[in-house]
Structure 1
Amino acid sequence: MKTLKHYIFISLLLLVFSCNVSPKPIDYGSDGCHFCKMTIVDKVHAAEIVTKKGKVYMFDATECMINFRKDFDTSEIELYLSNNYTEPEALIDATEATFLISKNIPSPMGAFLSAFKNETNAKEFQAEKGGDLYTWEELLAKFKD
């Protein structure tokens, strides 16, 4: 009987710790985009989705992540992450980011979309490169078409 309780306890511990809901580092040059299947190489435009169960989907651009959402149960998504344009490889919360669409900053899939951790940085690049700023919700509405 003690053995059965031991196995149940161990099983519960494994279940709790196996559902780690956190981002994974992107292996640039090796990992592929879950949406378009291209190899992820751009260190300032990549993105990730992490589900509530801890499954990670990687993308070569924020626009691929947004397009992926259209055919996915979004209620299962815990985290939306985009690379911070001013800090290569650093993933930031896309729902809190400010986005710039500027024809003067190319992105992998041609949407000219870059994410910034704060609005101040986004406005600095907008002043230099032109373009329009968006919140996460505004960006989703724009890509809904």
Structure 2
Amino acid sequence: MKGKHINFALILILLIASCSITPKPINYGSDGCHFCSMTIVDKQHAAQFVTEKGKAFKFDAAECMMNHLKEIDVATVSLFLVNDYHSPGDLIDATKATYLISKNIPSPMGEYLTAFESKAIAEKAREQHEGKLFTWTELSNRFDVGQDDKISLK
């Protein structure tokens, strides 16, 4: 009888752990973009979101994530993440990032969309590369994600 309780507890712990809402590592060079199926190789432009159930969706560029968000119920997403341009491979909170669209910084899908952890760093990049800055809400509107009021509250 005692063994059954231990097995049940172990299964319960595994179920809870498997549904944790945390970013999943992006395996650059082997993971594919959920939106366009390209292999994710660019550590400065990749993105990811994690649903309330803990499922991670990985993208080769922030623009692929934004385009995919048009196709789903955004309210089911708990985490929105993008790579920080100045810290390749580091995922940051996409809702707090500042974005630069500049023809002088190419991104994998040709939208020239780049994320920065802070507005100050993004402004310095704009001085060097030109372009236009966007907040998460402004970017959501630009991509016509739709439920952007729900996105900006996360």
Q: Please indicate, yes or no, whether the TM-score normalized by the shorter chain is above 0.5.
A: yes
Where does structure 1 lack aligned partners over 5 or more consecutive residues?
none
Following superposition, the deviation at residue 2 of structure 1 comes to 4.3
Where does structure 2 lack aligned partners over 5 or more consecutive residues?
146-154
1:97-131 Cα shifts (integer Å, max 9, x gaps): 00000111111111100000000100000011111
Following superposition, the deviation at residue 8 of structure 1 comes to 3.2
In 1, Cα distance between equivalents of 2:143 and 2:97:
16
Aligned equivalent of 2:38: 38
In 1, Cα distance between equivalents of 2:128 and 2:65:
27
Question: For structure 1, which segment, 82-91 or 2-11, has the greater mean C-alpha deviation from structure 2 after superposition?
Answer: 2-11
Aligned equivalent of 2:88: 88
In 1, Cα distance between equivalents of 2:39 and 2:18:
27
Aligned equivalent of 1:65: 65
Following superposition, the deviation at residue 12 of structure 1 comes to 2.1
1:101 is the counterpart of 2:65: no
In 2, Cα distance between equivalents of 1:12 and 1:56:
21
Aligned equivalent of 2:23: 23
Aligned equivalent of 2:55: 55
Following superposition, the deviation at residue 25 of structure 1 comes to 1.7
Which AA in structure 1 matches 2:96? E
- Give the 3-state SS of the residue equivalent to 1:105 in structure 2: coil
1:23-77 Cα shifts (integer Å, max 9, x gaps): 1221111111000011111110000011111111110100000111111121211
- Give the 3-state SS of the residue equivalent to 2:13 in structure 1: helix
C-alpha RMSD over aligned residues: 1.4
* Identity within the alignment, %: 53
- Give the 3-state SS of the residue equivalent to 1:80 in structure 2: strand
Following superposition, the deviation at residue 3 of structure 1 comes to 4.7
Aligned length: 145
